[in-house]
Structure formats: structure tokens, C-alpha cells
Structure 1
Amino acid sequence: MTTRRILAAGVTAAAVALTLTACVGGGGGASGDDSSKGASDAFKGDVKGTITVLTNRTDLVKTTFADYAKKFEAKYPGTTVKFEAITNYEDDVTIRLNSHNYGDVLLVPNKVTKDQLPQFFEPLGTVDELGKTYRFINAQAYQDNVYALSTFGTAQGYVLNTKVWKEAGITAPPKTTDELLQDLQAIKDKTKIAPYYTNYADGWPLSNWQNNAGAINGPDATKIRDADDSPWDSGKEQYQIDGLLYDIVHDKLSEADPTTTNWEESKNLLGTGKIAMMQLGSWAAPQMQDAAVKSGASKDDIGFWPMPFQKDGKFQSIIGTDYTVGISKYSKNKATAKAWLDWFENESGFAQLNGGIPANKDGAMPDVLKPFQDFGVDLVELNPAPKGQETLDTDIQNASQIDLQGPNYRKKMIDVARGAAKGDKDSFFADLNKRWAAARAQVGTK
């Protein structure tokens, strides 16, 4: 089970997004866009009664979350917390936003744009207020109001089986993409296993590659890309990110048939040393460690290293929020919903459970990131979009039909790299540049 559902692409997702947009355009029964700043007065009142919490973590409802509910109810006698686990969270909850029936506390679907937040969620406070306590508050901020808080933060890198890498003579992370490719070749030569696993069939893990944007260009990476007609030119950040994945597949350093990959099975493969690495966020490491233990291997064989992107001689890892959690505009028990959100953020330990960076700045960093300290990795958080450009990046992606946060174009790129589709690296990236430039001209600069 993954902790994050990536925005699906294609016709179905487009239809859902159009439905959501229509709902927002209609205004409706909620108060709409709040011009006032700060937490809503709706949170005042007694903490009592029942709330429903929507979650994508179908694997935790009867275990971890049940324990959370007991602890919260003990702290606030007279309350009841019910969980509704939703497998196809993104599509199902996005559709439910067209009604008033989407629980009291919920993960904000990725399809909700910032200007839509006031239609569906209560403001929790201002950026300045909440920024004193929490990380990642710009992720769901609009017009200086914050509408959701991070469940936890994720650092970007790759999960690896360090035992396999040691067998190939590698004990430290490669510093350049060329070094990484050389190390993967050494692993293949010495261990006879496929060093890399794409998770092509499930698709969403391919989207995680985009989360490395900023590891080279820094906090303004999105702004820099949106001002460029050719971000896939050789040497530029987008080229380096996608080019590395292309080269891994082209050089036959990944599984033989990507169409047969399986996410759940990949945990066992990495945990038992049948593959060497996967590019994912730090949240994935505990899942791989659990898989190792269940298979009779050691959790100590599973590590998390930074991607081979450096600036001024130091590794750069982008940190950002996983799902964010907010309170429904239509909740009938907002006082209890707010108390739950505060308890979840500050007392539950959910971030540590997931090997994540706690949203609360006073929280302890997870053990899985200790190697980052040892290797002197700089953690970089992206800056929010400039005023007036909040939707520019999304607009360019939509107009170009290049789903940076989705799997489709990287699936096609892998097909080209493995010889299952026409073209080569240069022609594929040239087409991306052409479409990106045309989209920028279409949407204009803001």
C-alpha cells in the first residue's frame, strides 16, 4: 500500500476534474472564498460527538488508526472517531466533493487547485501564524489562508538494498548520474540481478521522479521551468531527471519486462535483495524494511540515499509534503474535527511511522534519514508560485498534455528507451520541448 495516490491521467481523470470545476463554478451553499484571514470561528465549541475521517490508508484502519481513535477518545471523553478507508481515493473523493458528504476530516485530493480550497475546506489560520509551528504550510495556502496541514513530509532519494550494493563494492552514494549508471552496471555484473525496478505497470511510482525537480535548480525550480521553452535541453534540470531514467532503461539496468512489474511484489524483491534500488520518497523505506523482515531478511539491509544531484559539492534532496489533511466546509462537528487534526499533527506519531519528516517543526527526524546527515545532504523546500502564477505550471502541463506529476509520458519514454516504441532520446526530448513551448505560448505568461 502506498501512502500517496498520484493524480491519474487520461480521459477518466479529465472527466473527474471537469466535474469538480463545474461544482466550483456554481458557488453553492458554503460561504465560498473567505476574504478574512485566520482560523475559522466555526472551530469554537465543545469537543464532543462523532466525526468521520476519510483516508487512503486501507492497510491501517483496523490497526494503527484504531489505536489512534482510542487515544483521542480517551483524551476527549464523549467523542467517537470513525474512519472511512477509500481504495480509489483520488477519483472517488473528488467526485464526492460535488456533494456535501465527504466526511469531517479528509486528505485533500490532488485534483483540488488552490483557488478551489475555500469552496471545500475551512481556513485553519494564516501562513504567518501556522508557519511558526508547521512545515509545508504553503502547499495548501491560498490568499494567505492555510486550508490543510501536511500528514508528513518526504525527502527525495532512492530506497536501496545496501547488502547488494556492498557485494558490488559500493558503500557510498554516487555523486553524479554517470557514477550512478556505472554503479548499477557493477551491481548487474557482479550480482546478476536487475539493479533498478521501474514499477512501470502500476504507473504512479514513475511520477515520483518529478519530485526531484529543484535538486539542481533550487527552490525556484518550478518558476525556472515555467519560464523556459526548452526544459529538456541537454544539461538542464528536467533533462537530467528524465535522462537518468531513460539511460537506466536503455542500458538494460532495469527489469527485463516492465509491463509485468507489481508494486507490492517490488517491496519483497528489494527487501530480499532481488533488485537493488527504486527511486522513491523516504516514506517508502519503512515499507521495504517491513517486507525484508517478513521475508526473513534484516531491516538493516534497507537504506535510503540521496539522488546523484549536487550543488557546490553537496547533495540536494527536495522535501515536500505527502498528502495534506483539512476540515470539510460542511462538517457539522468542526470543533471536534479541529481537535482531531491538532492531535493527529502533534501527538499521533504518524510521521515517524512512515519514515517522514514531521509537519511540526519540533518533531524528531526519522531514523531513515540519518544517512542524509552522515552524507551532508541539504534539504531543500520549493518556494510557492509567485502571486498571479499559482496555476501557471498546471496550465502549461494541461495545454502541452505532458503530465509531469503523472505516469503517462514517462511510460512512453521507457517504451522508447527499451525499443518498444519508435524514436530515441533526442527525438523524444525534442518533442517534449516543442509541446512545452507551444503550451507556454498558448497560456501566456502571467
Structure 2
Amino acid sequence: MASTLPSRRSFLALTGLTALSVSLTAACGADGSDTRAADGKVSFAWWNIATTEPGKSLFPQISSAFTSAHPNIVINTTSLENEAFKSKLTATTSSGKLPDVFQTWGGGVLRQQVDAGLVEDLTDLLDWSSELTPVSLQAYQFDGRTYGVPYDIGMVGFWYNKKLFAKAGITTPPSTWAELLDDVRKLKAAGITPIALAGKEKWPGHYYWAYLAMRVAGLPALQQAATTKDFTGEGFVQAGVHLKELVDLQPFQPAFLGAGYATPGGQAATMGNGKAAMELMGQWGPSVQKDAGADLGADLGFFPFPTVDGGAGRATEVFGGGGGFALRKGAPKEALDFLKFFVLENESKLLASNGYLPVVKGAESQLTDANKKVVAQSLVQATGFQLFLDQAYPPAVGQEVNDSVADLIAGKKTPEQVTASITEAAKSA
């Protein structure tokens, strides 16, 4: 399917905006209202996805600390659940308006917003970017320019319940796909639900296909497919075949197709409450488990996504991403001041909350959680990095990846149909 986001030129033509009106908008808020009031106060909109802990409490604390130190600044915060945020931001982007400061994962989604002329180029404004790790900035950089500020970076892997593994007689986490499938069988034989999955939200399911594509076809093949817009290669088909091997074992919790991620009874709660042995999730997994269910504490472990026998990919090639913020074109300079305060002056608080991984150079020494240290070390040792596919690619392509993989998991599409649908979306984007 084709992307619905207009180009900068077509956007101006469609809306009838003149160059003068665009330049005037640069001094206005996301809704076109003046951000600099008569009394000298400056206000800006901040959209984020901090609806679960620790961000739910921490983000407002950081915002309040900033406005207390700068009484002339007012921050109008909107916090939305992940999927609701994406939907609202897509609609806002299509209308040519963005919030002053907005959550972004970078990649193809941000690139389209940049190409439409809606995002501030921060390259010459970030005189403190040298304090950030290169890998954390990577997703927000295009053609040597920087368009976002990261506050978290990490990777997707399996979080597992050590107690349930032991109950099933599993002494060592699997390192190959064949071993993972065997462990799923052992868990089922012991009466344990092997994996929790938020089937309703689709994006958690795409992690499996993306990682398998990396492990079978190799990271270079995945990157090449993004350029050639052809995902029908045998390696990508085999990724679906291997995912179907897992699905055929019926490893997920009852009613998983209707389950959300952070919702009551959803994936994170199922994992946190000890009702499933594993979940494939990013670095934020433990904090959401605790917020939606319970804290597994010392029973929680982490292992990287397994390799596939005969595959071209390596265990040191990681898949993931983090969170960041971008500024709309013409956002007040105070908005960038806020991001500097958020990231540099509050890195210790972010890490202490146990919900985020460091983006500031040297801050990894502050990590105390054993599992977070494993994730951070895996990133340090990574020989390749792939951003979430639903963010790395243009929105229409990323959505098709999510939709098609969800259909495969639900038994509605074959591995070949998945690759054909993604290819069609890529060629139409």
C-alpha cells in the first residue's frame, strides 16, 4: 500500500500554505497558536508514551523540575499509550502539524517527517551530542544530519522465568532455534505456558520474524531488501517457515490473539505474574512486567535471540532500538533546552528507575541490575544493529510487516504470502 504522508511540496499545494505562512508557523505551537505569550512566558507541547512505570511517574517529575527552574516556561504534556500515540501522530503528521516535542523511534517514520519539512534539523544545535553514544544517535541521523535526541537505547531479547525453566528441567537458556523449540516442548510437557504474546497489538509479533530474517538471511540481506524493495528471497521465506514451526507448537497463552501488551491480563502481566516462561521484548520489559503484573526479581533472566543452524546471521547482530524525541520545525529553543536537561542532567534518574539503558557515554557503569548489564554489554559487543522494522521502514511498509506477521501467527497467511505482501507494500511506498 502507498504511504499517506504527503511530500513537502504536495503538502503545501494541498493545504494552500504560502512560504510566508510557513515561516510564521515556525514561531507557533503545534496548533498554530503563538508559544510566546504577552507576559513573556513560553509554552510548548510535549507528546510522549510514558503511560506505564517508571516513565509514568518519572517524566512528570523531570518536567516539573525543569519548569520550576525556568518559571517562564510552560510544558503542555500529552502521554499516550504506544498504539494510540502512533495513530494520533500519523494523523497529525498527515495534516502537516506536529507537536513541539514528540516521541520518536527514528528510522523511516522520522525520515518521512523530515522529508516533508516538518522536523527541526538539530545538527548545528546539539553542541552536546559528543556526550552521547554513537549507537544511540544512529536511528535519528540521515545523510549526516541529526533530527532527534535519544534518552534510551537497547535491544530485543528473551526475558525468561528461571523458576519455570527449572521446573521444566531446563538448566541453560537455548542458544539455537532448535534448542528453543525443544525447550518450548519441555515447558508444555510440564504444564507451563512457554511464551506470552500480545497478539492484538501486532508489533510484538513482528520481533520474531525480524530476528529470524536476520538469523537466516543475515543482516546485510535485510538491509539490501530495504533498498531493492524485494523481500521474497528464500531467507525471508524461511524466516516465516521457522516462525510457523514455533506457532504450530501452540506456545502462547490462551486468547493471546486478543491480548494487549501493557493491559491487564496482557503479555507483560502474564509474564510478570509467572503465568508464562518467556516473552520476546525490549529492554523496558521488566519495568512493564512490574507495572502490569508483578516483579519477578531474582527469578527473571535474559538471553539473546538464538541463532538458526545454517543461517547467515550471527548472535552478535542485534535487533532493537530505543526512545527519543524530535522537535517540529520552528519549535521554541526552550524545547531543546528541555531535552538537554531531560537527557544529560537526568541520566542517573533514568537509569536508577531500572526502565532505561544509557545513552550518555560512560553511564553504563551506573547500572546495578544484572539483566540490564547483560543487555548493555550485548550492545557494546554487537557486530551489527537493526532498528525495529516498523520504524526502520516507511510507515506503510512497517505496518504491513506487523499485519502480515500477525496473520502468519494467526494462521491466515503462509510464509510466502507474508514476503509477497511486504514486497508489494515496499514497492508502493
Calculate the TM-score normalised by the size of structure 1: 0.72
- Give distance in 2, aligned partners of 1:56 and 1:176: 34
Given residue 429 of structure 1, which amino acid in structure 2 is its aligned partner? P
2:362 alignment counterpart:
362
**1:108 and 2:104 aligned:** yes
Residues in 2 aligned to 1:392 and 1:321: alpha-carbon distance in whole angstroms: 10
AA aligned opposite 1:71: A
- TM-superposed CA distance for 1:322, in Å, is 2.7
Secondary structure of the residue aligned to 1:245 is helix
Whether 1:158 aligns to 2:158 is yes
Q: Provide closer, same or farther for how the CA distance between residues 128 and 81 of structure 1 changes in structure 2, counting only shifts above 3 A.
A: closer
Q: Which has the higher helix share?
A: 2
Offset of 1:93 from its aligned partner?
2.3
Structure 2 SS opposite 1:309: coil
Cα deviation, residue 379, structure 1: 2.5
Structure 1 counterpart of 2:48: 55
Give matches, 1:182-331, under 5 Å. Answer: 182-190=182-190, 192-212=191-211, 214=214, 220-226=220-226, 227=228, 231=232, 233=234, 236=235, 238-239=236-237, 241-263=239-261, 264=263, 265=265, 266-291=267-292, 293=294, 298-309=296-307, 315-331=315-331
1:159 offset after TM fit, Å?
Answer: 1.8
Distance 1:117 1:307, change over 3 A: same
Unmatched 5+ stretches in structure 2: 25-39
Q: Please name the residue that 2:85 is paired with.
A: 89
Structure 2 CA distance for partners of 1:438 and 1:412, relative to 1, 3 Å: closer
Question: Structure 2: how far apart are the matches of 1:383 and 1:377?
Answer: 14
Q: Could you say which residue in structure 1 is the equivalent of 2:67?
A: 73
Query: Match for 1:170: what amino acid?
Result: I
Would you say the 8 A contact 1:56–1:86 is kept in 2? yes
| CA distances 1:147-194 after superposition (whole Å, capped 9, x unpaired) | 11223112121122121112122232211101001011111112x022
Given that residues 149 and 359 in structure 1 are in contact (C-alpha distance below 8 angstroms), is that contact kept between their aligned partners in structure 2?
A: no
Q: CA deviation at 1:250?
A: 0.3
Measure how far apart 1:338 and its partner are: 0.9
CA distance in 2, matches of 1:330, 1:376: 34
Contact between 1:164 and 1:276, CA under 8 Å: does it hold in 2? yes
Q: 1:380 to 1:229 in 2, by over 3 A?
A: same
Q: Distance in 2 between matches of 1:196 and 1:414?
A: 13
Which of 382, 400, 404 aligns to 2:385? It is 382
Give the aligned residue type for 2:100.
D
Asked if structure 2 preserves the Cα contact closer than 8 Å seen for 1:317 and 1:377, the reply is: no
Structure 1 position 268, deviation (Å):
2.6
Q: Which residue of structure 2 lines up, in the alignment, with residue 403 of structure 1?
A: 400
Deviation at 1:200, TM superposition (A): 1.3
Corresponding residue for residue 133 of structure 1: 132
Alignment correspondent of 1:42: none
Partner of 1:37: none
Aligned equivalent of 1:21: 6
Task: Give me the whole-angstrom Cα distance separating, in 1, the residues matched to 2:124 and 2:220.
Answer: 22
How far off is 1:243 after superposition? Answer: 3.5
**How far 1:372 moved relative to its partner?**
4.8
Whether 1:172 and 2:157 are equivalent positions in the alignment is no
Partner residue in 1 for 2:29: none
For residues 47-70 of structure 1, the C-alpha deviation after alignment (integer angstroms, 9 at most, x for no partner) is 973332111223468622221123
User: Partner of 1:278: helix, strand, or coil?
Assistant: strand
Q: For residue 107 of structure 1, what is the amino acid of its counterpart?
A: Q
Aligned partners of 1:232 and 1:430 also within 8 Å:
no
Q: Distance in 2 between matches of 1:204 and 1:374?
A: 25
Name the amino acid aligned to 1:414: I
Q: Which moved more, 1:371-380 or 1:177-186?
A: 371-380
Q: CA 1:377–1:194 in 2, change beyond 3 Å: closer, same or farther? A: farther
Structure 2 counterpart of 1:328, one-letter code: R
Mapped to 1, the partners of 2:257 and 2:172 lie a distance apart of: 31
My pick for the range that moved more, 97-106 or 246-255, is 97-106
Preserved CA contact (<8 Å) 1:184 1:195: yes
Q: Displacement of 1:276 after TM fit?
A: 0.9
1:155–1:320 contact (8 Å) kept in structure 2: yes
Q: Deviations over 1:280-331 (max 9, x none)?
A: 11211222244554xxx64222222211127999732525433431112142
Partners of 1:373 and 1:339 lie apart in 2 by 27
> Aligned-residue CA RMSD in angstroms?
4.0
**Structure 1: runs of 5+ lacking an equivalent:** 1-9, 33-46, 385-390
Aligned length: 385
